[in-house]
Amino acid sequence: MVMRTFGWSFGVTAVSLVVAFLYGGWNALFLCTILGILEVSLSFDNAVVNAKILERMSEFWQKIFLTVGIAIAVFGMRLVFPLLIVGITADLGPIDAISLAMEKGDPETPGSYAYLLNEAHPQIAAFGGMFLLMLFLDFIFEDRDIKWLTWLERPLARIGKLDQLAVIVASISLILAAQLLAEDPAVVLLSGLLGMITYIAVNGLGSLFEGQGIDEAEGTIIEDGAAETGAGAKDRTGPTQLAKATGKAGFFLFLYLEVLDASFSFDGVIGAFAITSDPIIIALGLGFIGAMFVRSITVFLVRKGTLADYVYLEHGAHWAIGALAAILLVSIGFHIDEIITGLVGVAFIGAAFTSSILRNRRLKAAGIEPEPVIVHAD
């Protein structure tokens, strides 16, 4: 199971490290390893959320995410995206942007590739921060049967009954970040607004078409005379194997996952330039090693049913997302070390995992066998 799931990641990692060594010797090998570890530590919460969404997709769209999605994650976000940002910021063509990147300029040197990318950080942080903040708020303001931090999640779910509360809180957060932290509030406001619009549009379209797909699937079951009866039919509150997201629903869930992955990768891409400004090393470490392992962890969580067995993992991942969103917004005005960002995510995931184990033990001690949690369609 482990080798089948992580085999490609181990293979790609070995090749990437060899390429890094041939490219720049032991120093490049070391930097590539550090970047790979950095990306995995920053993105473990991403893998948990990806797995939750991937469970709702058909096998076809799961394969698309794990193939085409890999190409987008590796080449799009870790290689093309920084070049695109620098090209737009410095008004450079693609060839000039690549030439500037290969010069490996120092982040403190005006006009260098790393310097220009750092200059664009407020816009990037505002977009990614608001996208992730909306995701976090939508989660904590929803009333769920399973609650982790009950003392906090219960009152948040109660006030979450207020319509569009997530949009209100996110908008206030964006205004405060732009006015108090940004040198150019208008640019940050625009970028953050685009992040919110992207989340609302992609998430809304995915939910719309997924709901239609579930209705069609259930209608087909009834027409075929194979509808379930009794408690099994009554209790089904989420997509089953027959109602997995396909067609338009699958496409928009795939699109949602890609935008989500992009938002998670912003901090890693920017943080990588604090370690090295070499785009080749960044692509090898963040893209080929980091992104591959994040995908493998996602697949492992889905195939093992980990999220159903350890019910608080999803909660921990979303609290980590909330922390990352706050860090991105604060980083508009202050530098925050990438180690802190990584440790916060790991801490939430670790605490949620431990709480899940303790919950399962308590239930077993009471003679109750923990049952897998049904995946709800959000």
Beta-ladder partners of 57: 245
Q: How far is CA 69 from CA 59, 62, 72, 258, 342, in A?
A: 14, 9, 5, 7, 23
The predicted model scores a pTM of: 0.74
In this structure, what DSSP letter does residue 57 have? B
Which structure tokens are listed for 112?
Answer: 């260098």
Q: Residue 331 corresponds to which tokens in the numbers above?
A: 């980083």
Q: Among residues 281, 317, 268, 256, which one has the least CA distance to residue 125?
A: 268
**Burial class of residue 182 (count of CB atoms within 10 Å of its CB; 0-12, 13-18, 19+):** buried
Residue 186 burial (CB < 10 Å; 0-12/13-18/19+)? Answer: exposed
Cα dihedral 90, 96, 104, 328 in deg (nearest 10)? 40
For residues 235 and 243, give the distance between their C-alpha atoms in angstroms, rounded to a whole number. 15
Nearest alpha carbon to residue 179 among 336, 329, 324: 329
* SS3 of residue 245 by DSSP: strand
Spatial contact of 288 and 8, defined as CB atoms under 8 Å apart: no
Mean pLDDT by 10 residues, the chain (378 residues): 76 90 88 81 75 80 80 73 72 76 72 77 87 89 88 90 90 94 92 89 70 50 40 39 60 79 69 71 82 81 79 87 88 81 81 90 79 49
Q: Which alpha helices (H) appear in 55-120, and where do they start and end? A: 59-71, 81-90, 94-102, 113-119
How far is CA 285 from each of CA 12, 36, 267, 278, 343, rounded to the nearest angstrom?
11, 4, 14, 11, 19
Residue 140 Ramachandran class (φ > 0 left, ψ -120 to 50 alpha, else beta): alpha
- Three-class DSSP labels, 174-188: HHHHHHHHCCCHHHH
Amino acid at 377: A
| Residues in CB range of 135: below 8 A, 6 or more apart | 49, 199, 203, 260, 318, 321, 325
Provide the residue type at 61 as one letter.
W
The C-alpha atoms of residue 305 and residue 289 are separated, in whole angstroms, by: 24
Q: Which pLDDT score, from 0 to 100, does residue 210 have?
A: 57
**Local structure of 230: helix, strand or coil:** coil
Domain ranges for the chain = 1-217+239-366
Which residues have a Cβ under 8 Å from the Cβ of 320 and sit 6 or more positions away? 45, 344, 345, 348, 349
**What angle, 0 to 180 degrees and rounded to 10, lies between the N-to-C axes of helices 247-272 and 121-140?**
130
**Closest C-alpha among 245, 248, 243 to residue 233:** 243
